[in-house]
Amino acid sequence: QVTLRESGPALVRPTQTLTLTCTFSGFSLNTDGMCVTWIRQPPGKALEWLALIDWDDERYYTPSLRTRLTISKDTSKSQVVLTLTNVDPVDTATYYCARGVGWERYDYWGLGTLVTVSS
């Protein structure tokens, strides 16, 4: 059974660094074709694709946030970590992680975690 769960702070102050962890089970990021992606959704707004890490440790980022985002994996812990530096209130969103079969097929998602950026 595939599951993913996002964890991290619910509240972050502006200019701080946000660190989110996706803990997954039921698959391995060492398996060819497996990926984990992060997608966010500001309240009442559309989905925004953020980053992806694949089985080969290739990493991809959305260009608009490329300088602020880092994605990494710890396969021994079945975790993927996303960091976003210098956060701003516009970064307030529900952050989802999802499993990718290949880069494009996001078949299992976490429940999401709401992060609010506010002073």
Partner 1 sequence: DIQMTQSPSSLSASVGDRVSITCRPSQDIAIYLNWYQQKPGRAPKLLILATSNLQSGVPSRFSGSGTGTDFTLTISSLQPEDVATYYCQHSYSAPPYTFGQGTKLEIK
Interacting residue ranges for partner 1, rule: CB under 8 A: 37, 39, 46-49, 52, 60-64, 96, 98, 103-107, 109-112
* Beta-bridge partner residues of 114: 94
* Residues 83 and 67: beta-carbon distance below 8 Å: no
Work out how close the CB of 78 gets to partner 1 at its nearest, in angstroms, rounded to a whole number: 19
Token representation of residue 59: 């990493």
Shortest gap between Cβ of 49 and partner 1 (angstroms)? 5
Cβ–Cβ < 8 Å for 95, 38: yes
Nearer to partner 1, 2 or 15 (CB): 2
Nearer to partner 1, 2 or 47 (CB): 47
The DSSP-derived string for 40-65 is EE-TTS--EEEEEEETT--EEE-GGG
Q: How far is the CB of 2 from partner 1 (least distance, A)?
A: 13
